[in-house]
Structure formats: C-alpha cells, structure tokens
Structure 1
Amino acid sequence: MIRTRQILTSLVGVLGLVLAARNWPGEEMERVSPTAAQEAAAANRQNIIFVLTDDMSSNLLKYMPEVQKLQAQGTTFSDYVVSNSLCCPSRSSIYTGQYPHNTGVLANTGPKGGFDAFHDNGQERNTFATALRSKGYRTAMMGKYLNGYNPTARVDGQKPYVPPGWSQWDVIGGGYKGFNYKLAHNHKIEKYGHQPKDYVTDVLSKKGSAFVEKSVAANKPFMLELALFTPHGPSRPAPRDKHAFPGLKAPRSPAYDELPTDAPPWLAGRNRLTQGEKNKIDKKFRKRAQSLQAIDKMIGDLRTTLTRAGVADETYIVFGSDNGFHLGEYRLEAGKQTAFDTDVRVPLVVAGPGVAAGRTSNAQVSNIDLAPTFQKIGGAAVSSRVDGHSLLPLLDGGTDANWRKANLIEHQHAERSSGDPDNDGGESVSPPDYHAMRTDSYTYVEYRSGAKEYYDLESDPYQLHNRADRLSAGRLANLHDALTRLRNCSGDNCWSAGHP
C-alpha cells in the first residue's frame, strides 16, 4: 500500500490549493504539492492503468496472449457496448461518463464533433482526470486524445495545450502512421522520426513505465491512460512484427458477405464482395493483428514494471477499445458506425485488487461506466450529471441481477471530410442518423427516416434477420417509448431508463 508522506505545513497546503485551482497542467503541476488532506486521502487509493485501443474488434483478442493472461486473472465483460461506434464521441463518453447527447460530441469533426466541441462545451473541466487529480493522484494521458487535437496549436493561451486534470501530458495529434510525428510532452514539443525506436506504441510504452516508476518513488497513487493508435488504419505494425501471422485471413462468420433479411434502406441492395475486396479485407485483418502485438508487449512490460516497483497488487489494469470494426460482415468493407455488434460490442477486461479471476460477466455495461468506476476507485464523488455507474460491484464476483438491462447507442451521419480519418471518402460507410437500444436478448434500431431494425440476439446472434415488421404495434410502441427515455435521459435518471 502506498505510504502516507509527511503532512505538509498549512502554508504549503494553501499555496497548493491556489495553484491547483488555476488548472496549471504538465510539469508545472508536478511542482505543486497536494494538501495534507489530499495526501491522507490518497494514501490508501489504488492505482489505475487504462489501455485503450483504437477500432479493436473482439475477434482480435485471440492474438493477444498478454490480454488473455489478464482475462485469466481478472473479469471479462462479454456484453460491453459503446455509446457511439466512432472514435471521438466514444472517447468523450469515456472521459465524462455521459452519453453523446449529453456531452454534445456526436462526430469526429464539425460543430458537434472533435476536440473543439468537447473543449468548447466545457467537458474537460469534469472528467475522471480532474476528479482523481483533486484527490491527490498523479494522472497521465499518453497517446491519442480527441480527433482534431493539434499539439502545435495555441488554445487558451497554451501551446501545446494541456487540459485540466492531467499532471503529465504526452499526446500526439496524428500518430496513425506510427512514425514521423510530433508529441506534446506537457508544454514542449518532441519530434520523432522513422527509426524503429521511434515507433509510437514503443515510445508510449517506455513513457508509461517511467511514469509508473516516478509515481511509486513519490509515494503517490497514479492513473495512467495509454490510448494507442492501432489497430486503426493504416494499422502500421512495429517493424519486428510486420511478418507476423503469414497467411492469416479475416474470419468468415455467418454474417460475412451476407445481408440481413429486410435490411434497412442504406444497406439493402449492396453487391456481394468481389474476390479483390476479400483479398484486401484479409490483408487489413492481418495488419490489424500485427499492429496489436506491440500493444500486447506493452501490457506485459507494464506489468513487469508494476511487479518490480512493488505495486502490482495495488493496481487495476483496464483493457478496452473505443469502438469495434467490421471487415466483410453485411457486405461492408472496412469500417464501423453501425449498430451491429461488430461495431458496438467491444472487449473490456479488468484485473486488479479484489477482481474475480477468470470470470466472464454478461452484464450490460457501457463506456459511460468507466469514468465513475475510476472515480470510485480513487475515492472521488461521482456527480449526479454522470449517466454511467461504477463497475466495482460487478468486479468482485457480485451478481449483475440489478444491473441495467439496456444500453443506448447513438449515431449522427457524417459527411465525407478530408480531416476525418473515418469518413474521408474511403471504404467506410456512415449510416443515416439513428438511435439504438441493445439488451442481452435484442437490438432495436430507429432511424430518423422512420426505418427500424429488430434483431433477436438469442435466436439470431449474428443479426441476419430483421424482424421489426413482425412485431405487434404494441410491442413496437413499447420499444419506442423505452428507447425515447434512454435517448433523452440525463444523469441519475439514465439508470432507471436503462431498465425498460
């Protein structure tokens, strides 16, 4: 357990409060000592490492042995669903614990998208980072922040800009290619080239381990988020992994190259995949698996660092993804943004103090639950504005009988934009606006156009038979009312809305 340090004098405590109130981040924040009360409160807090992949589908877990070790030692959530199957809206929900309709971030770009929307809406003032920082935690954000964040841009008088709540900031504006990028290290810019040592995941791995070691040496609890750029396209693997998995092909599930019966208008009529398209899909899948090897190695290295530092038993490790990905399912090439499980149901593995080992939970959990979980671990109060709930009651093997029964999924159609890596005119298809409700037994979707989808997940787990037109008027009315309550919910009433 992290030891309580010597209590500070009242003068230093007052100075710490004044400086912390100015939200000075980065290295400057590290010069500010927390108050005696903060030190005492933080002394018994557990550490958190959150590893967030980008566009990782569940069918890639089998290629990550270190994550499989986490599964054996922790709990896997088999029905973890994201609130929006697109990078920036999902990450905004992760930071705040709120659905997209409450964060105001519904896209990667535009007036309701990206870093600008999150920043302009004032969301950065109320994240798990600000909550934990107020409790004496050292907090570090490393890797990918929000779409549109530019390390070289001046925001609020800072260049690089560092949001409140973070005591260390190692963030890259665009690291998808793996090399030749600029990294904002607190308020300084670091440039990386094209040598193997510059590979972005490896650089972040070393920074993460150094942050852990420094935090332990300072006798302070820590929260470290490592947000990686892979397996998002172009899925650049580390040079050492570029020949891994020779001949690997994308899975051919029953949904591969098939359309659902009574498919919605935007999907109906799509032609079968050509052999050339299938070959391209197989190559993409192989590169995605290759690119995850560096992340898997990073997890192993971090766990070695935790053990060496003597805090392995005091640290939660959370592994997940911001959204899923389809590759050939429903005759769609590479992409996401749909309400199909390929895109919204993603990996979530948690290991750490008191977490039930080797357990799989089918509780209907969501990315809105991560922020309140982190805050509860750190002893921070969870605001009534937060839509999600802490997962801690589920992590010790407790029953999920009283957990929410339905999760909300929101989507805003995105026009093609050269500044949006997920809607830049490539293969990805952005469906029309929709809201969806997913339970353990069905997925129900309503499009703004009036089209509907209903998939019985018990008899049709691959979502190949849209049965919306077979439901009675009464059943459709009940589904509509339940979905409406979810799409309009806010804060505490989202819990009751999640029990249709």
Structure 2
Amino acid sequence: MLGAKPRPRWSAAPLSAVLLACALALAGCAQPASGDGKKGRDAVVSASAQAKGKRPNIVYILTDDLSWDLVDYMPNVKALQRRGMTFSNYFVADTLCCPSRATILTGKYPHNTGVRSNDPPTGGFDIFNARGNEKDTFAVALTKAGYRTALMGKYLNGYETKKRQGSSRVYVPPGWAEWQVTGLGYANYNYNLNGNGTLTHHGRSPKDHLNSVITAKGVDFVNRSADAGQPFMLEMSTFSPHAPATPAPEDAHKFGRVRAPRTPGFNEPDISDKPGWLRKYPRLRPRQIAKVDQAFRERVRAVQSIDRMIGALQAAVNAKGRGADTYFVFNSDNGYHLGQHRLVEGKLTAYDTDIRVPLVVAGPGVPAGKTEPRFAQNTDICPTIEELAGLKPADSADGRSLEPLLHGRPVSSWRTTAFIEHLGPNYRHDDPDLPTKYGGNPPTYYAVRTANELYVEYENGDREYYDLARDPWELGNLWRQAPEARKAELKSLVASYRNCAGADCRNL
C-alpha cells in the first residue's frame, strides 16, 4: 500500500567499495610528478592530451539548491541528457552551500577543507581562504596548464560581506583570469558585481537580473577565448533557484498551475520512527501545502533563466566551431525538499531529496543518452575537470576522476558508497540557509548511502536506517530491527570516512 512502512529485508551484499590503487587517474586535484620526487601543485598536460594537440574546453554550470524534480522543466538540460551522460547516483558530501562548493573546488570532504558551515569559525569564505584551499582549486591547476579560466555569479558564502585590508569586495582569488562575481546575489537584483576587481552596481531594472547579466558575460568570454585560440574553462555559478527564487521578468507568470510533486513521502502520515529532531513535526496543513506549492512554482520559474543560459552558451560555442571539443557539465551544489517527511522547504537532511542531485556531462567521446549508475560525489568534480583538461589529478584530493566512466574506459573497481557529513543545528539569523520553522534543522550527523541503504548517525545518539530496495521514499526507519553485524559494519564505515584523507578516502 502506498506510504506503508516496509518490512525488514537484509542484503548479503558488502557495504564498502574496495578501490584499488590504479595508475590511471585516480582522483584528486591536479598534481604532476616532479623530477626530484616532491609533490608539487603545478599541473602538467598528460601525454594523451599532448598527442591530441587540441585541448578541450569545459563549460561548468553549477546551480544552487536545484533538485532533480526541476529538471523536467528545463528543456536544454533534457537535451544535454540526450546527447550526454546522466549520473543517476551522484551525491553531495554536505547539503549546505559553502561546504559543498568548497568540496567541488578542491575535491576534498568538508572535514578536510575545514569548511563545515557557511560562517566562521566553522566555515565560509574566510575559513576556506585561511586554510589554504584557494591554492588547491581546479582553477589554479588549469591556469598553470595554459587554460583561460572564468567564474561568473556566486563564489562562497561570506565573500564580499565586509571590507578587510585592501577591501575583500574586490579580491580575486588565484587561478581565475576572468572574475564576474557577487556575494549578495540571492535576490538576483540589487547587487554589486566584482568584474576583475572593479565593482559595478546593478539595480532593479529587468536587464539587471543576475542570470541574464552573467549569461551575456559568459557568451562574451566564450567568443573572446575562441578568437584567441586558447582552451578555456568557464564556470557559471548561479544563485538560482535558491530562495527567494526570483525569476527573470519574462518567467514571472509562467507555470501557474504547477504544484510540488506528491511523492509517497509527501506529508508523511507516520513519523513516529523518525529521529527526535523530526518526530514531533505536525502534518502539513492546507495553508502550508499551498505555500509549498507556491515555492515549487517559483523554483520552476527561477530555473528558466538557467536553462536559457545553457542554450546561449551552447549556441556561442557552436558558432565558433568549438562544439565538438567542448564539454558541458550541469550540476547542483545540493538538493531540496518540499513537503516530504512533513518538512516544508529546506535542504539540510540526509534524505535523497537533499543529497542526491543532478550531474549531466556531454562532450567529446561521451556516449549519448547514457545513464551511469555507479556512484559519484562532489569530491569528484575537481579531479574530473582536471583530467578532462589533460591533467594528472593529485593524490591529495579525496575524490576520483569520472573521466574513465565518461569515456567507457575500464576501471578495476569503483566505490559503492557515498559519505555525507553535516554540522548542525543552524541558528544563525544572518545565514541565507537558516531553516524555516518545520523546514528541517537536524543536529550534527554523518551518513553513508549505498545502492540499497541509507544509514544516518546523529551526534546525539539517534540513528536512521532505510532499506531503499523496498522503501525508496525512506518511510520506515529499521534501525532497531537491523542485525547487529550490519550495525557494526555501518558504524565502522562511518568512522573510517570521518577520519579519511586523500587515498584513504578513495579506497573506502
């Protein structure tokens, strides 16, 4: 029956993936082998890339809070799926903006970047910078390898919020040749855009909508880079559809009858088995459900300008004759829930609504219309971008390159688990990700996602375990019924992930 709690079912499949040490581009961020045996950060072009002569371009579209249920409303993303590869089991290591983006830039889990939240002393731009992470980004590696790099839109939480020595408002991090970034663009209007060290104010005019502004700048960057004959990596980093999910003017009244998907977990009838932080949440009332539906409509409207951005960039690349040697990567920093498990809108949980997000890649040698079920995480984005550019990823990163999967090359083994860590609860009223009432504000937790299981270990002692083969909507917490041997395996795996770094992470 729909929404019924599942009966226990135990699989004999092993939990942990054994990742063998392969010589072929196992993960991290770019690092060459130097003649004296020391491990430096200078990237080198691989022999295979040199043989090809022309290095590919990379256009990376990173969205904010974009969940899988929005993709059906994005025709250019759907077209990207038809001509490329969709990763059906791609998970983020933290469902909060700044930790996730720090991981994307460096290939390291939040416990290794030191960015566990959006704000100091446990996260934010200042911590990312102070911990030396900016020297380890894929931008630095690609720049050293001769790429022309650009970031447009959003960087990290805390960037441009206050003046420091020399004014942080015009600071440009290393590795970026072109910088068109604002720190306060959530509303997509009334922001100061830092254009390579010069601030330009944008107001409330329709032409000031941030996605429209950076789309035009992105197209210009593609044109100039192609004319210069230099390989380029362009990251388009949106604030959309993050709340307040402000649409472009032409989209403000579209999708008037759309409502949030009514999945089996929507307004879950029985949450008596959920952890303490969630167990007392009341069922959603009609007025709350109406607000959830309105939020979903606004999110659908907000992603239309992202979808047009993708189309415009593809058209620009094709017009310059570079379509055949340009990768397009579509991604989100975390997911979003709306009504599931009695939660209104938010993103801080370990449920699939929040941790499992889109990753679509199209480009040279990537098979059309393929779905890749093997596990990927945001720790893999940095090494993947670097290896696509012909660089050898570094041993220091926690992720591994997805390039072999994209091009059908054999791999001796692959991970079968994903690790998620979250620092909570969040009570900072100046944080744009502060949860609303009944939006979900869990305490600190660590979680492991396997093909058929979700295990969540809360710092306060609560536990969750779901049999996803029978219960894909995560309705029945079976932790009390789980065999003791399974519990021990799960606890051991989480402990190993919590303390891992580099190759130790990749070998779990």
Normalized against structure 2, the TM-score is what? 0.88
Counterpart in 2 of 1:429?
Answer: 440
Counterpart in 2 of 1:481?
Answer: 492
Question: Is the counterpart of residue 196 in structure 1 residue 219 in structure 2?
Answer: no
Aligned pairs (5 A) from 1:242-257: 242-257=252-267
Higher RCO, 1 or 2 (CA under 8 Å, sep at least 6)? 2
Counterpart in 1 of 2:327?
Answer: 316
Distance change (3 Å), C-alpha of 1:243 and 1:399: farther
- 1:151-189 CA-to-partner distances (Å, cap 9, x unmatched) read 773456765000000001100111111111100001100
- 1:44-102 CA-to-partner distances (Å, cap 9, x unmatched) read 21110000110011011100000000000000001100000010000000000000110
Q: Select the residue among 278, 300, 303 that pairs with 1:292.
A: 303
2:376 partner SS: coil
Q: Could you tell me how far apart the structure 2 residues matched to 1:159 and 1:278 are?
A: 40
Question: Is the counterpart of residue 141 in structure 1 residue 151 in structure 2?
Answer: yes
Counterpart AA for 1:100 = P
Counterpart in 2 of 1:114?
Answer: 124
Q: Structure 1 unaligned runs (5+)?
A: 1-22, 24-33
2:302 partner SS: helix
Q: Could you tell me how far apart the structure 1 residues matched to 2:492 and 2:352 are?
A: 23
Counterpart in 2 of 1:176?
Answer: 186
Tell me by how many angstroms 1:474 deviates: 1.6
Q: Could you tell me how far apart the structure 2 residues matched to 1:200 and 1:348 are?
A: 23
CA contact (8 A) 1:213 1:309 kept: yes
1:446 partner SS: strand
Counterpart AA for 2:277 = W
Counterpart in 1 of 2:94?
Answer: 84
Please, which moves more after superposition, 432-441 or 391-400? 391-400
Counterpart AA for 2:201 = K
Tell me by how many angstroms 1:325 deviates: 0.3
Q: Structure 2 unaligned runs (5+)?
A: 1-41
Tell me by how many angstroms 1:449 deviates: 1.3
Distance change (3 Å), C-alpha of 1:40 and 1:403: closer
Counterpart AA for 2:120 = G
Counterpart in 1 of 2:173?
Answer: 163
Distance change (3 Å), C-alpha of 1:155 and 1:471: farther
Counterpart AA for 2:426 = E
CA contact (8 A) 2:278 2:440 kept: no
2:90 partner SS: coil
Q: Select the residue among 273, 288, 292 that pairs with 2:284.
A: 273
Q: Could you tell me how far apart the structure 2 residues matched to 1:359 and 1:162 are?
A: 38
Q: Could you tell me how far apart the structure 2 residues matched to 1:60 and 1:339 are?
A: 19
1:146 partner SS: coil
Distance change (3 Å), C-alpha of 1:40 and 1:238: same
1:486 partner SS: helix
Tell me by how many angstroms 1:414 deviates: 3.6
CA contact (8 A) 2:346 2:436 kept: no
Counterpart in 2 of 1:379?
Answer: 390
Aligned pairs (5 A) from 1:47-62: 47-62=57-72
Question: Is the counterpart of residue 367 in structure 1 residue 349 in structure 2?
Answer: no
Counterpart in 2 of 1:102?
Answer: 112
CA contact (8 A) 1:238 1:291 kept: yes
CA contact (8 A) 1:261 1:464 kept: no
Normalized against structure 1, the TM-score is what? 0.89
- 1:191-246 CA-to-partner distances (Å, cap 9, x unmatched) read 11211111100101000010011111111000000010111000000010011111
CA-based RMSD: 2.2
CA contact (8 A) 2:335 2:353 kept: yes
Q: Could you tell me how far apart the structure 2 residues matched to 1:399 and 1:463 are?
A: 33
1:436 partner SS: strand
Q: Could you tell me how far apart the structure 1 residues matched to 2:414 and 2:471 are?
A: 24
Distance change (3 Å), C-alpha of 1:134 and 1:186: same
CA contact (8 A) 2:159 2:169 kept: no
Counterpart AA for 1:140 = A
1:286 partner SS: helix
Counterpart in 1 of 2:503?
Answer: 492
Distance change (3 Å), C-alpha of 1:155 and 1:220: farther
Distance change (3 Å), C-alpha of 1:136 and 1:308: same
Counterpart AA for 1:166 = W
1:229 partner SS: coil
Q: Select the residue among 238, 244, 253 that pairs with 2:248.
A: 238
Q: Could you tell me how far apart the structure 1 residues matched to 2:152 and 2:413 are?
A: 35
